[in-house]
Amino acid sequence: MKVSKKNLTLHKDEEKTLTLVSPLNFSTLQFSLNENSSLRLIIFLNGEVKDLSFIGKLKKEAKMHVTIFDLSDGLLNLNANIELVGENSSLDWTLASVAKENDDKNIDVSFHHLVERSRASMHNLGVALQGGKLRFAGVGKIYEKAYKASVSQVAKIIVYDDDSYGRADPILSIDCDDVIAMHSASVGSVDENAMFYLASRGVDEDEAKLLLTLAHLQMAINEIEDQKIKEDILSSLRKIL
Amino acid sequence: MHTLTIKNLHVSIDGKAILKGIDLTLNQGETIALFGPNGHGKSTLLMTIMGHPRYHVDEGEILLDGKDILKLSPSERSRLGLFLAMQLPVEVPGVPTADFLRSAINARREKPISLSEFYKLLNNATKEVNFPFDMVNRSLNEGFSGGEKKKNEIMQMRILNPLFALVDEIDSGLDVDAINYVAKALKEEQNAGKGILIISHYARLYEIVKPSSVVIIVDGRIVFEGDSSYVEKIDVEGYEWLEEEYGISLKKGEDAKPKVISLGSCAVKKNRAKEKNESK
């Protein structure tokens, strides 16, 4: 039976790794990472997912590393709203998403830096093809007293054909004058010269797309340590492309 | 014998005419050195033969063993036996060179190549052109020096074993040792009976890879054909002699004087006839 909300609390100094493969038994993961705790979260989404939310807080020196690989079908609304409320808390987020055929995906990720020396990095990497639609919204909010906070956001989408759609909105909202912040976004078609180069060696279009897609999503693939999940992802990508 | 034939080829890029009627035949076992001033269409010819989508064929034919290949994709042309060693090989971040090569090899086979056979092939090819083996694990051409990129091109040519190699300024930016490695690999292709269409501005490469004939392109047209002795003449004198001796304008576009007689074609016929007589 699907439970709409799952609560997860990591106690002081606790370390935990969670590897999840859809179908998930929750649509919202609410978490709290206490002082010096560490959560490694790896999620592979396939099949129908529709709605998925992450809401949580990182306290002093807490660390969280999230890797999500999304190959789900159809509609997807994925939201993350994570607060860095403790000094020296640290968050790494990597998401890879493929939108194909009738897929319509909205990925909305917000990080809130409320205290000094919190750090977060966000990588949203996507591919839209065969008429798929993919939108990334990333927000990095640095509050007034979050001195020395560090935030980086990267959003990249390859749109393979005219029927597909990609959009990336990286937003930084900074109310503090002593921070490190960067963001970048790119949405574009595949490099024509790269495709030609691969094709000029006999690699057909589908294989070339697969090679370029794997390259584009490489960061997320590399972060998945479970070999079985990695193989499932590669196999699914081959079927899609 | 395999033959690559180009007939009355007119090519434009973004509406601008670059090639204005190229006729050329390359037989298996021949090496044609393609010369001409910069920007007059040499690389365009090679890119068009390989099928780059930016190069629009307005008129003419490209035939491989009599079969028109203009409607074929670059990958289909490659699998039929064409190979383009590029002047500026593209960097493809994130695609490991070895993975790419394996895909290229498998595209030509019914059964995928085994890992051991692949690494044996790769090991031999890297040694042949003095390409560091560990670089095959790096992203394709990313961060490679100019020389490493060119060696990678030649290494791929050796591995993929084409019928015809189109070689675009493979020696530019190479040091003396690297030129020797590349030239020796090309010489082996020659000895194996491949057809080679090669662009180079330097006589040094042609000392090892001796061409069967020389062709000069000016303003998108072949204006001269001659034997390999013209490599030295071009190396020493450049192209102004074309204007002085044959009245061929070196200007591009509307300023160019219309060519009345194709002296080059006559020259090549004479030379080939002479060669035949000499060989008797």
* pLDDT confidence tier of residue B274, bands split at 50, 70 and 90: very low
Give the gap in angstroms from C-alpha B126 to the nearest C-alpha of chain A.
Answer: 17
Percent of chain B with pLDDT over 90: 79
B1 vs A: CB within 8 A: no
CB B199 within 8 A of CB B42: yes
Q: Is residue B280 scored above 90 in pLDDT?
A: no
Give me the residues paired with residue A19 across strands: A42
Whether A201 and B99 lie within 8 Å, measured CB to CB: no
Q: Which runs of consecutive H residues, i.e. helices, occur in chain B?
A: 42-50, 74-80, 97-106, 115-128, 146-160, 176-191, 203-208, 229-237, 240-246, 263-279
- Determine the pLDDT at residue B277: 42
Q: Residue B279's pLDDT is what?
A: 44
Closest residue on chain A to B108 (Cα): A202
State the pLDDT confidence band at B272, using cuts at 50, 70 and 90.
Answer: very low
CATH superfamily for domain B3-94+162-279: P-loop containing nucleotide triphosphate hydrolases (3.40.50.300)
Chain A residue with Cα closest to B96 = A215
Residue B23 to residue B5: CA distance in whole angstroms:
8
For the segment B61-117, what is each residue's pLDDT rounded down to a tens digit? 999 999 999 999 999 999 999 999 999 999 999 999 999 999 999 999 999 999 999
Ranges of each domain in chain B:
3-94+162-279
The answer to whether B18 touches B38, Cβ cutoff 8 Å, is no
- DSSP codes joined into one string, B71-111: TS-HHHHHHHTEEEE-SSPPPEEEEEHHHHHHHHHHTT-SS
User: Do A215 and B92 make contact, defined as CB atoms within 8 angstroms?
Assistant: yes
Put simply, whether B263 touches A (Cβ < 8 Å) is: no
B270 pLDDT above the threshold of 60: no
Residues 109-128 of B with CB under 8 A from A: none
Nearest to B210 by CA among B224, B200, B225: B200
In angstroms, the CA A195 to CA B74 distance is: 10
Best to test chain A binding among B100, B109, B138 (most A CBs inside 10 Å): B100
Question: Which pLDDT tens digit goes with each residue over B11-41?
Answer: 999 999 999 999 999 999 999 999 999 999 9
B72 in A contact zone (CB under 8 Å): no
Give, to the nearest 10 degrees, the angle between helix B115-128 and helix B97-106: 110
CB contact under 8 A, A215 and B94: yes
Tokens of B51: 């099928």
pLDDT < 50: residue spans in chain A? 1
With bands split at pLDDT 50, 70 and 90, how would you rate the model's confidence at B250?
Answer: confident
Say yes or no for a CB contact (<8 Å) between B84 and A199. Answer: no
Integer Cα distance of B136 and B143 in angstroms = 12
Query: What distance in Å separates the CA atoms of residue B154 and residue B125, rounded to the nearest whole number?
Result: 9
Distance from CA of A152 to the nearest CA of B (A): 21
Under an 8 A CB cutoff, do A196 and B104 touch? no
pLDDT (mean) for B147-164: 95
Q: Which amino acid is at B224?
A: F
